């Protein structure tokens, strides 16, 4: 079966995290209640290496190390992901809260979801600009295409619209999915990591 067909999609304006986790076979390190909400807890960070690289929209290679010593939201998106398409403008409307908390948003295309090689960054830029509008050019977020290694480190199931809030030390303090559905929890956790 095509991997894209297994991907959870936003239906009726909400994604139930429990269903997403069940479809993906679960994601290690996330505690969920019976209602499918994330129970925040500190999750041990994996060491990020040069292999945890991504390609910026201008074609330059960088890694998470470039964002060391600053709070960061690492957010994975995919081309054709309906949930991502509605989550991006939701986050865009709240970029001032991220700025105030000192949290940078790193929006990463899941490896292979925007094509491979040259052109993947162009597809991601088109997706981002069409969904974020004028906010796409905000300095509060950075857009790039994740390497296979970086995607595997954070999102081994390739679940789109999943995000990770990391503190200055690189520890993942909170995981969530579909900011369109979890924006209030996400904004409250910004205060904890800034």
- Residues 47-69 have a mean pLDDT of 81
- Residues 30-54 have a mean pLDDT of 46
In whole angstroms, how far apart are CA 148 and each of 26, 34, 53, 154? 20, 32, 9, 10
Report which listed range, 43-57, 63-77, 84-98, is most confident.
Answer: 84-98
Residue 153 structure tokens: 């480190």
Q: Is 105 left (phi over 0), alpha (psi -120 to 50) or beta?
A: beta
Distance in angstroms (rounded) separating the CA atoms of residues 178 and 16: 9
Residue 81 structure tokens: 């992901």
DSSP sequence for 74-132: EEEE-TT-HHHHHHHHHHHHTHHHHHHHTPEEEEEEPTBBTBSSTTHHHHHHHHHHHHH
CB 160 within 8 A of CB 176: no
| pLDDT tens digits along 136-175 | 999 999 999 999 999 999 988 889 999 999 998 888 999 9
Half-sphere exposure (Cβ direction) of 187: Cα atoms closer than 13 Å: 14
The CATH number for 3-193, chosen from 3.40.30.10, 3.40.470.10, 1.10.150.530, 3.20.20.150, is 3.40.30.10
Q: Is the pLDDT of residue 19 over 80?
A: no
Of 163, 175, 45, nearest in space to 108 by CA: 163
Residues in the chain: 194
CB 19 within 8 A of CB 32: no
Q: Compute how many other C-beta atoms are within 10 angstroms of the C-beta atom of residue 51.
A: 12
Distance in angstroms (rounded) separating the CA atoms of residues 14 and 171: 28
- DSSP, collapsed to helix, strand or coil, labels residue 69 as coil
Question: What ranges do the domains of the chain cover?
Answer: 3-193
Q: Is the pLDDT of residue 40 over 50?
A: no
Distance in angstroms (rounded) separating the CA atoms of residues 51 and 66: 13
Q: How confident is the model at residue 39 (pLDDT cuts 50, 70, 90)?
A: very low
21 vs 74, higher pLDDT: 74
How far out from the chain centre does Cα 191 lie?
18
Q: Is the pLDDT of residue 1 over 90?
A: no
Q: How confident is the model at residue 28 (pLDDT cuts 50, 70, 90)?
A: very low
pTM above 0.85, yes or no: no
Average pLDDT of the residues of the chain = 78
Lowest mean pLDDT across 49-53, 66-70, 156-160: 49-53
Lowest mean pLDDT across 67-71, 87-91, 123-127: 67-71
Of 48, 54, 30, nearest in space to 163 by CA: 30
């Amino acid at each position: 079966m095509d991997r894209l067909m297994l991907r959870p999609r936003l239906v009726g304006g909400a994604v139930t995290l429990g269903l997403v986790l069940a479809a993906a076979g679960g994601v290690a390190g996330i505690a969920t209640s019976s209602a499918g909400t994330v129970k925040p807890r500190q999750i041990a960070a994996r060491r990020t290496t040069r292999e945890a690289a991504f390609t910026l929209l201008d074609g330059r290679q960088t890694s998470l190390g470039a964002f060391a010593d600053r709070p960061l939201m690492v957010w994975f998106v995919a081309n054709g992901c309906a949930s991502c398409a509605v989550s991006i403008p939701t986050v865009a409307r709240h970029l001032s809260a991220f700025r105030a908390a000192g949290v940078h948003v790193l929006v990463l295309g899941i490896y292979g979801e925007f094509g491979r090689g040259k052109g993947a960054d162009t597809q991601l830029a088109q997706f981002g600009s069409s969904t974020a509008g004028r906010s796409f050019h905000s300095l509060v977020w950075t857009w790039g295409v994740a390497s296979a290694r970086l995607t595997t480190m954070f999102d081994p199931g390739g679940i789109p619209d999943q995000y990770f809030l990391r503190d200055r030390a690189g520890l993942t303090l909170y995981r969530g999915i579909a900011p369109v559905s979890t924006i209030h929890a996400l904004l409250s956790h910004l205060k904890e990591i800034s």
